[in-house]
A and B are shown apart, each in its own frame.
Chain A
């Protein structure tokens, strides 16, 4: 069974600081997605990573994929309060999507 592990599960950080969320998975796949979920809302697609070495950036968030290490990272630069949300990674195996348990991020002013 494919496992997707995110860490940390909870992250409290001050505005202006940098941090990285990690997503490890247990099978071969070169397609990984990052999603954001605000409280009580649906999941919104943030990044689509399609190959080894892929790097995508949007504002203060940057995502990368290392398929050989089966690792994806979501890096937060100079955090702001608006980034407070839960972030999920998801591995696409073709027929199924496997989600991590999520990282709940709180940015403190």
Chain B
């Protein structure tokens, strides 16, 4: 059982380049999300999805796009990379049940360390 798988682990981009961070989960979780982690700022939500075909913005969505065509996959696209997007990115998923009592905490992938020069 792989859980949440993120690729790549490391990436270096030049300013203006685009790329896609991949995230896949095999737990049949409806809820998936992307966070960025910067020193001293905790985790900030970029985008999230409550199911296939549904996405919504989090706290820091600018410069990022997402799509959710399947339950398993939730890729994050950087449209035109900027140095301010240098960060560690985490994908996470959670089970959301019909009642709050069934909801699970977030399960995290291993992260992608992105540097934009």
Contacts and interface: CB of A to CB of B under 8 A. Distances in A.
Interface in B44-76: 44-45, 48, 50, 56, 58
A102 B42 contact: yes
B43 A96 contact: no
Interface stretch (A43-51, A56-64, A77-85): A43-51
B50 A33 contact: no
Interface string A18-52: 00000000000011010100000111110010100
Contacts of B92: 43, 97
Contact of A101 (B42, B100, B105, B107): B42
A92 interface: yes
- Taking residues whose C-beta sits less than 8 angstroms from the other chain, chain B's interface range is 20 to 34
A96 B45 contact: yes
A88 B108 contact: no
A48 B105 contact: yes
Contacts of A102: 42
Contact of A43 (B50, B90, B103): B90
A55 B48 CA distance: 29
Nearest to A98: B45
Contacts of B33: 97
A95 B54 CA distance: 12
A11 B55 CA distance: 38
Contact of A88 (B43, B50, B96, B101): B43
A46 to B, nearest CB: 9
Contact of A97 (B50, B106, B110, B111): B106
Contact of A42 (B40, B100, B104, B111): B111
